[in-house]
Structure 1
Amino acid sequence: MLMNSTKMMFLMILITTTIMVYSSSSFMMTWMSMEINMISFLPIITKTKKMKDQSMKYFIIQSLSSLTMLLSMIMNLKIKTPINFENLLMLSLMMKMGMIPFHMWIISLMEKLTWMNCLMMNTIQKLTPTLIIPQMINLKLTLMPMMLSLLFAPIMMLKTNSMKKIISYSSIYNSPWMVYSMFISKKMFLMSFSIYMFLNLMLMKKMKSYNIMFLNQITEKNLLTKLNLTINMISMSGMPPMLGFFPKWMILNKMNDLSYLISMTMMISTIISTFIYMKILSSTLMNQTTKKKFFKKKDFNELEIMINFTGLTYFLMLKPN
């Protein structure tokens, strides 16, 4: 993504509106901030004719979810009905985040985006709904949608060969972890979100530099590059002693106090996710190609592998508050 002055301006608006949602105490102000956030993201992703169709799809889905959210607010204020407004609000936020069963739009959109736009879609654009859910929706109401995303997103990952689809399914799987970390405390959320964003940045930077779009392209790389990519992806799944394991362990430790059902579902989904990542990447590591490989020293970064293995150090040194 070419960072000219226009895109820098829209990026600053994105960050500002997210901060506005975080600091706002009014539902209407939150809704307006989300609308400004959505409108400022559209010019960033619109580059080609192919992306204009995808950006229109993004606009329609986000507008529909915003209208549903507004309807829930009006029902809560004006209409005395037995329908709980939290159900409509949860529905609208699930559509905004692209969680199961409203996930198909985000899968097709992410496949057409650039890697840097994918990073923004996975991190900054997921922040606003993640901040709203714990503030306005009861924990019990989130059980079913979050459990669906935790269990089915890793399984759907097994059927695809596209790296962008794999990362988008990984984003759906990690969204409930972010939401429940916000239920625990703001410090926990900031810590887990920062680590998740850092892991996404490292992985997508590699995918962009190596121009990797599909899994079979990793086979053409040398062994050290494959190992680097594999460790980064396994760290995102939460396998110990990687960096991605540390926030998940902290969240699980605290979620036992809130709900045993959620913590059990999180443990099962992490096992499924790690198994599927290993199944996908083991074939990539084992297979070799006859194409000649040129090993460049700059292709392998020992620092990134060391960073991913720092999860064990955090595990031994720190305790959840």
Structure 2
Amino acid sequence: MNPYVLTILMSSLGLGTTLTFASSHWLLAWMGLEINTLAIIPLMAQQHHPRAVEATTKYFLTQATAAAMILFAATTNAWMTGEWDINNLYDPIASSMTIAALALKIGLAPMHFWLPEVLQGLDLLTGLILSTWQKLAPLVLIIQVAPSTNPAMLTLLGLLSTLIGGWGGLNQTQIRKILAYSSVAHMGWMIIISQYAPHLTLLTLSMYLFITSAAFLSLKMTSTMKITTMTMMWSKNPILVSTTALALLSLGGLPPLTGFMPKWLILQEMAKQQLPLTATIMAMAALLSLYFYLRLCYAMTLTISPNTTNATTPWRTKTTQSTITLALFTTAALGLLPITPAILTLTT
């Protein structure tokens, strides 16, 4: 892609997200979400491959539907209350419709069906943007709307997302689909705590950004797309495979890695809110996710590639890709647990 065009598209992505962050009016927030969507569509379709075009079309139709629902809900709320302020979403119908639309935008269950298919059709860097940056603006709106929303609806969305995100990834062999279901599960953790402790939602989102970026960039470095290809990674780059396996375990929330921190704090907060059953279900759902992360780690580190394999043997040449960003994200994904008190002090 032309560097000038790429610069404009990336700037538009930043502009759309910043506009939604800074807005207190529903029309401005909607406009920011639309700029965001329109900026990523050329990035998704740049490969000129039928699978990428199909994924782009699915994404566009889904986001257009969600944007129309948001606009309709905001108009309904303005009709009922006379205000366009984001924090004054007091009409129950408008509030429920807004949460449903934002859940569709970020791929919360049961509106998650588009996410694995879309992510499967993209290259890893565009998939990284879709899994991280594109979740920021809708999540901030959900945090703002959560106090005026029915708590049972948010709890149901969170529980369904963690369960379906864990269950759906069990029978996948394509790594991008596994990461898509991982995203669904992590969004469920963020949504369920947004009504009780919004700062924990932001903390979980930050940790998710670090760990997912490390995982995507590691897989991009080794050009790995499916589990069978993972069996040949160890002989090519043992150190990178070790850090990739640890990043995946961190996504699963295994101590003493960074990913354990948000799950631990969320379960602690839910216990304080007298919700032991919900916390137990969330913890059990995390075990489902941990299973398929362990399966990926097993394929990478504990198996030897057979002589007859369907995957193409990668060339053992030195990569020309920059590793500084990957090193920073990997460090954050593996070593932030000891400074949890400092991070909590900064976020509260």
Query: One fold, TM greater than 0.5?
Result: yes
**Segment of structure 1 superposing worse, 184-193 or 16-25:** 184-193
Give the aligned residue type for 2:221. Answer: S
Per-residue deviation, 1:96: 0.8
Q: 1:113 aligns with which of 92, 108, 122?
A: 122
**Gap change, CA 1:297 and 1:59, over 3 Å in 2:** closer
Per-residue deviation, 1:33: 1.2
Task: State the partner residue of 1:59.
Answer: 60
Q: Find the aligned partners of 1:106 and 1:318 in 2 and give their Cα distance.
A: 31
Dislocated runs of 4+, deviation >6 Å: 292-306
Say whether the 8 Å CA contact 1:245–1:311 is kept in structure 2.
no
Say whether the 8 Å CA contact 2:230–2:299 is kept in structure 1.
no
Per-residue deviation, 1:191: 3.6
**Segment of structure 1 superposing worse, 214-223 or 117-126:** 214-223
Q: Find the aligned partners of 1:148 and 1:283 in 2 and give their Cα distance.
A: 28
Q: Find the aligned partners of 1:37 and 1:259 in 2 and give their Cα distance.
A: 38
Q: Find the aligned partners of 2:76 and 2:108 in 1 and give their Cα distance.
A: 24
Confirm or deny that 1:170 pairs with 2:182: yes
Identity value in percent: 21
**Gap change, CA 1:318 and 1:96, over 3 Å in 2:** closer
SS at match of 2:109: coil
Task: State the partner residue of 1:8.
Answer: 7
**Gap change, CA 1:259 and 1:142, over 3 Å in 2:** farther
Give the aligned residue type for 1:26. Answer: H
* Equivalent pairs, count: 319
Task: State the partner residue of 1:36.
Answer: 35
Per-residue deviation, 1:178: 3.1
Say whether the 8 Å CA contact 2:74–2:94 is kept in structure 1.
yes
SS at match of 1:206: helix
Say whether the 8 Å CA contact 1:241–1:311 is kept in structure 2.
no
Q: 2:152 aligns with which of 140, 146, 161?
A: 140
**Gap change, CA 1:222 and 1:99, over 3 Å in 2:** same
Per-residue deviation, 1:106: 1.3
Task: State the partner residue of 2:79.
Answer: 78
Task: State the partner residue of 1:277.
Answer: 293
Per-residue deviation, 1:226: 3.9
Q: Find the aligned partners of 1:35 and 1:277 in 2 and give their Cα distance.
A: 34
**Gap change, CA 1:115 and 1:306, over 3 Å in 2:** closer
Say whether the 8 Å CA contact 1:216–1:284 is kept in structure 2.
no
Per-residue deviation, 1:317: 7.0
**Gap change, CA 1:129 and 1:159, over 3 Å in 2:** same
Confirm or deny that 1:257 pairs with 2:272: yes
TM-score (ref. length: structure 2): 0.80
Unaligned residue ranges in structure 1 (runs of 5+): none
Q: Find the aligned partners of 2:196 and 2:73 in 1 and give their Cα distance.
A: 25
Per-residue deviation, 1:314: 2.6
Q: Find the aligned partners of 2:2 and 2:194 in 1 and give their Cα distance.
A: 31
Say whether the 8 Å CA contact 1:163–1:213 is kept in structure 2.
yes
**Segment of structure 1 superposing worse, 251-260 or 287-296:** 287-296
Unaligned residue ranges in structure 2 (runs of 5+): 82-90, 308-312
